[in-house]
Amino acid sequence: MEEDFKDLRVSDLIDPEVDVWDFVNVNTMFDQVDCEVILRIPRNNLDSEDIPVWQGHAKGLFTVNGAYKLTRMLETANNTEATTNRHQTFKYNQIWSIDVPKKINHFIFRAIHNRLATTDNLIKRGVIVPNICSLCQNDSEDIMHVFYHCRISREVHQNIQVNNFTSRVMDFKELFSLNGNRLPRDVFKLWIVCIWDISYQRNLIIRKKPFKSPMEIVKFGKDYLERHIASPKDLRSLQPP
Ligand SMILES: [Zn+2]
């Protein structure tokens, strides 16, 4: 508590003339959130003594242990709320409603459930491999690196005018959902096909086969979607070249 507020009493926040909260005083001394909470507290008409009370203790006494527990409780509540919001906003039919060959819908489904054979997943399953990104050979490899942070992916994103988010994106599910909401439908589809092809190029690199540059991945994505619109059935068995 600020030194100036050390001797502050609840009665200092009440207008004695009309016996209601002194709106100006409360607004001056507290930030907006606290201010709104204070102004919602009903006035106590009992003629009781004004004493400091700590809400985190049954008897109203402040303890460091009590403050620690309260902090942990609020953190857990915030994390649960954030997780719940993320899961509530995600609709799984978003995956299947994208008009691309079904194998790409399946690929996205596996990516969203983190079921791709990225290095971190292989290590979790006991496979002994160096944890290094096959595309850039520069960072450890997990799904968010391959499709979001990797310089190869970033170059693909730049070429299809999809900027990365400035704030932290938690996982591929959130990335998919955010892009689905913000991108025009044709750009979103191109992003999906490019992601699929990035994964395919990664596998080619592992097998020491020739692979595409980021520009070629984008070109492939555009051509692929054009052919899909022209003749969707012809693409059922086509793999990225
Ligand atoms: Zn990389």
Complete DSSP assignment for 43-72:
P--S--------TTSTTS---HHHHHHHHH
Instruction: Retrieve residue 100's tokens.
Output: 């691309």
Residues 6+ apart with CB under 8 A from 232: 101
Closest CA to 143 of 179, 104, 114: 114
Please tell me the distance between residue 190's alpha carbon and the centre of ligand 1 in angstroms.
21
CB 8 within 8 Å of CB 21: no
Please tell me the distance between residue 155's alpha carbon and the centre of ligand 1 in angstroms.
11
Q: For 15, phi and psi rounded to 5 degrees?
A: -80, 110
Please tell me the distance between residue 118's alpha carbon and the centre of ligand 1 in angstroms.
11
Please tell me the distance between residue 213's alpha carbon and the centre of ligand 1 in angstroms.
13
Surrounding ion ligand 1 within 5 Å at CB are 133, 135-136, 150
What pTM value is reported for the model? 0.61
Tens of each residue's pLDDT in the chain, 241 residues: 444 555 667 777 787 777 777 776 776 666 666 666 677 777 665 566 666 666 666 667 777 777 777 777 766 666 655 555 555 567 888 899 999 999 999 999 999 999 998 999 989 888 888 899 999 999 999 999 999 999 999 999 999 999 888 778 989 999 999 999 999 999 999 999 999 999 999 999 999 999 999 999 999 999 999 998 776 555 555 556 5
Please tell me the distance between residue 150's alpha carbon and the centre of ligand 1 in angstroms.
4
Please tell me the distance between residue 173's alpha carbon and the centre of ligand 1 in angstroms.
19
Give whole-number Cα distances, 116 to 25, 111, 113, 178, 198, in Å.
58, 6, 8, 20, 13
Please tell me the distance between residue 126's alpha carbon and the centre of ligand 1 in angstroms.
22
Following CA atoms 90, 92, 95, 98 in sequence, which dihedral angle do they give, to the nearest 10 degrees? -90
Query: What is the pLDDT, as a whole number, of residue 2?
Result: 45
Please tell me the distance between residue 98's alpha carbon and the centre of ligand 1 in angstroms.
27
